[in-house]
Structure 1
Amino acid sequence: MKTMLLRSRLFDIEQESIAPIPEEARHGRSRELFTIWFGMNMTPLTVVTGATATTLLGLPMAGALLAILLGHALGGIGMALHAAQGPQLGVPQMLQARGQFGSRGASLIVLVAILMFVGYFSSNLIVSSDSITALLPEANGTGMIIGCAVLSFVIAAFGYNLVRKVTELGAYMVGALVLVSFVALFAGGDFWAQMNHGEFTWTGFLAMLAIGIVWQLTYAPYVSDYSRYMPAKTGTTGAFWGTYLGCVLSSALLMILGSGVGIAVAGADTMTGLNGILGPVLGAVVLVGFAFVAAAGNSVNAYCSALCALTFVETFFSGWRPGARARLVTSLVLHVLGVGLALAAATSFASSYFSFLSVLLYVLIPWSAVNLVDYYVIRHGSYAVDEFYAPDGGRYGRWNAGSLIVFAIGVLAQVPFMATPFYTGAVAEAMGGIDIAWLVGLSVSALAYIAIARTAPALVRLNPGSITTHAKVAP
């Protein structure tokens, strides 16, 4: 009977969308968050990104290992603190941003999040397709991209429960394949012979460190989309550690594999190189497994992009409560858009993707700083959730001037420290191309928001009426 109920729940089309999840609909345990996020990173894209450390950035293996571990460990803290908000508030992360930026002000951040989700969706389509064409050169790349998108749409259409179960199964499937890949990598002589190849530079190290940090922070706009279904009793501690350990361990593990493959194959295509290391039979199993899990797991990006798009539209049609049909139509439109972007970007994927990550970092850091400081330091997790949906923004207003000012300050403060393929700031150039813009943006945004909240609370719509309840929020 329990198995039948589980199957029914998995294949029932989710009716909830961006409205608060009622307590009677809450289910799951924090350890399930671990498998969601462990499985989410089990994709070829993670391996390819890790190879950047030893190929594009030229680091030796030891330097790459340290940068990857440190970057993910640091970035994961901010990411998981966002996830810890879900069980208490029960709403999607980007909708919760209305508590800091106002209903209309948050729509600016939502647009950035949609761009991010569609970008990652398209990137996963490309790398999944490349995994298959590396194995079967005669396979049609366009057909592979469309096929992967169809699989993602079917899973995302059913909604939260099926998406969660698919990523959980992917964690076990590809986790085993990754262990096999490490054994094959270490058994080959090329890895050990080339292990010290490359040169440690602070520019390369800090660039890879920043990639690890932004990799984690790009999940920040939607980790609460999954923890929001957890019962309120899950608390912030369970949601924090379940998400943190799952996301950090899987992404760091696969990026380390990618950096090792990058050294062993001396600049060849990463997935093709991995196939060569594994041999024809084992390579086929691993690449097909990676491609399938990446295509299925891409439903996470698709599901969350649909929630963001619905949040954006609802901003201008207050009182509208989108249901399952609206979510399905929105998801279909975004899948079509993602396929179009994947087909257009496939020919220049590597350089386009690296630039994409860089831009995301500069935009997401100020938003993340404002959100976390407001939630944990200023309001202590206490929000009037119903007023997120008020036509006039309720107590949070349509535009929160203080938060938007801090966001602009945080973005602008990073400009002199930026080091990207298309622009290098004066300070970064003087430092030999070392990029510490993420650190500047985080620090400036956090301090500026605290200063405004303490000295001019009206600017961030902070008053005694803003606090209705208090809860323990420290992880």
Structure 2
Amino acid sequence: MQLVESRSIDYVPLAERHGKVWHLWPIWFSGDAHLATLATGAIGLAAGLGFGWSVLAILAGGALGTLFMASHSSQGPELGLPQMIQSRPQFGYRGALLVWCFALVTYIGYTVFNAVMFGVAVQDLSGTELSPGGLVTAFGLFTLMAMALAICGYDWIHLAQRVLAAVVIGTLALFSVGIWLVGGHSPQFVFGTFLPLPFLVQFFAAAGYQLSWSIYVSDYSRYLPRDVGITSSFWWTFLGAFIGGAWMMLAGAAAAALFPGKEIVAALISAGNLVFPHFGPTVVVLCALPLLTITTLNLYGGSLTLLSILDSFRHIANPGRARLVALGGLGIVSVWLAAFAGGNVLGLIERLLSVLIYLFTPWTAINLVDFFFVRHGHYSVREIFNPDGIYGRWNWRGLLAYGVGFLAMVPCFATPVYTGPIAHWLGGADVSMLVGLPVSSLVYYLACRSLDLAGERAHIEKADAGLEDDAEPSLAIDFDNALPEAAA
């Protein structure tokens, strides 16, 4: 295992593939089971939704978002590339900048939110309000620790997530059983009031939160051997992300139900102390550890996306060194923004998730349709890095489908700034995700009917034949038998 990973957005040759497909379970369980996810589970209750209805919204929304998120996981072993660079076949060499810029904003937004969440946890654990300078120091130390692991890279991130998964499972199991024994018959844990708007807000918050991981799922599966299979990579990712995310959201809902009106971390501390004295701070500390590593994932994925953007204008000659420079820049920007973010974690995550649903619903639909139903996994890595290659600089098909899908969602938007006519008619409910997914998928699929896929595959075979042993293996792959399941 390398001390510092040498690759970034370049292709991982077959000779360097390693790991087990089940490793995807802890990477995404720990990636979801942390304090930031806790806040997502309390959104419905804060809006007056009953506890039982919040549970249903969390489970249903989480399952929907994770379904699409986990579908991207199989792209890593098949393509050997990070997630965002794979958007070039759909949007073009330069056209992919559209989604990459959105993704970079997402990475920074989550890093800022996680730093703020960490600062709130420090204040709640210490019982004192930190000064502005103290908060910035806490943000900086938190980000530096996350950066240290991100610098080490892929293998160390996987190892850390496997260790943390065992720690968090034990913590959440003890918390869940304890809360059930102590407060299982509490009046706060009944179904309670059903309110359509808060139910939908909680549903799409859970769905959007899980969907937002789609932009870097295959970053953490791209080193796996190609023969791990589509089905196994999907299910290990789905179960890890869904169980980790839903469990932590439900813990947040339970804490918010027992202690309404309290800030969410303080509510978790109080709920944990009901199980036995001083257990609450222990829960917060142990659940803050994966908050640190998911920030690592955000910085790591953000650096790859930033390099993808830069590579569109100038080829990255030394991708390993460039990744370290990109990490440093993202860390500095994130700490600076965290200093201005404020401490309203519920409001911050709700605003962030609403934006993510709007930006990435069309992208995830286009990317998955292209991979599974149009090209069936047949891509040329050499051409992905060729600005004048078969995928073009600007691909009108992906850009058109994204634009139409996004515009179709606009009447369904429900934000403090703008409420669309459909959302207004539904009483303020935002159902844009349910519109954007099918519209973007259909428009892209129909636009691709004019593609000469047979000619494209012939070109791929010629362009990439025998490149596994090339002097530049970072651009080498052979897709002759890459996707027997998907191509069938």
TM-score range with shorter-chain normalisation? over 0.9
Give the alignment of 1:395-434 within 5 angstroms: 395-434=390-429
**Cα displacement (A) at 1:186:** 2.3
Question: Which residue of structure 2 aligns with residue 321 of structure 1?
Answer: 317
Which residue of 249, 264, 269 maps to 2:263?
Answer: 269
Choose from 338, 351, 362 the match for 2:358: 362
Amino acid at match of 2:484: K
The structure 2 residue matched to 1:118, chosen from 104, 108, 112, is 108
- Within-5 A mapping of 1:210-249: 210-249=204-243
Aligned residue in 2 for 1:472:
484
**Candidates 361, 370, 379, aligned match of 1:374:** 370
How far is the alpha carbon of 1:62 from its aligned partner? 1.4
Superposition deviation, residue 200 in structure 1:
0.8
Pairs aligned (count)? 461
Q: 1:197 to 1:66 in 2, by over 3 A?
A: closer
Q: Distance in 1 between matches of 2:8 and 2:351?
A: 32
The answer on whether the counterparts of 1:44 and 1:294 sit within 8 Å (CA) in structure 2 is yes
Matches within 5 A, 1:6-21: 9=1, 12-21=3-12
Give the structure 2 partner of residue 449 of structure 1: 444
Change (3 A) 1:203 1:465: farther
Deviation at residue 461 of structure 1 after TM alignment: 12
CA distance in 1, matches of 2:127, 2:140: 17
**Runs of 5+ unmatched residues, structure 1:** 1-8
Change (3 A) 1:188 1:141: farther
Change (3 A) 1:260 1:22: same
| Letter in structure 1 aligned against 2:296 | S
One-letter amino acid matched to 2:298: N
Matched, 1:34 2:25: yes
Where does 1:276-287 land on structure 2 (aligned, <5 Å)? Answer: 276-279=270-273, 281-287=278-284
Match of 2:333 in 1: 337
Q: Distance in 2 between matches of 1:267 and 1:462?
A: 62
1:73 to 36, 60, 63: 63
Aligned: 1:47 with 2:12: no
Q: Secondary structure at the match of 1:435?
A: coil
Match of 1:350 among 346, 350, 370: 346
The residue number in structure 1 matching 2:433 is: 438
CA deviation profile, 1:368-398 (whole Å, cap 9, x unmatched): 1111111100111101111111132x10011
Deviation at 1:347, TM superposition (A): 3.7
Unaligned ranges ≥5, structure 2: 462-479
Q: Does structure 2 retain, via aligned residues, the 8 Å contact 1:197–1:263?
A: no
Partner residue of 2:143 out of 149, 152, 155:
149
For 1:142 and 1:184, the matched residues in 2 are separated by 35
Q: Secondary structure at the match of 2:340?
A: helix
Q: Do the aligned residues in 1 keep the contact of 2:42 with 2:252 (CA within 8 Å)?
A: yes
RMSD: 2.0
Pick aligned residue for 1:171 from 165, 169, 179: 165
* Alignment partner of 1:250 is 2:244: yes
Which residue identity does 2:439 align to in structure 1?
Answer: V
The AA in structure 1 aligned to 2:29 is F
* Secondary structure of 2:342's aligned partner: helix
In the TM superposition, 1:97-136 aligns within 5 A as 97-136=87-126
Q: CA deviation at 1:321?
A: 3.4
1:220 CA drift (Å) = 0.7
Q: CA deviation at 1:348?
A: 4.2
Give deviations 1:218-262, integer Å, cap 9, x for gaps. Answer: 111100001101011112122111111100110011101111111
Choose from 286, 289, 305 the match for 1:308: 305
**Counterpart code for 2:420:** G
The superposition leaves residues 140-163 of structure 1 with CA deviations (integer Å, 9 ceiling, x where unpaired) of 433222111111011111111111
Q: What letter is aligned with 1:223?
A: V
Quickly say closer, same or farther: Cα 1:246–1:474, change in 2 above 3 A.
Answer: farther
TM-score in terms of structure 1 length: 0.93
Q: Percent identity?
A: 34
Report the CA distance between 1:197 and its aligned residue: 7.1
Equivalents in 2 of 1:327, 1:377: separation in Å? 33
Pick one of 193, 218, 225 that aligns with 1:199. Answer: 193
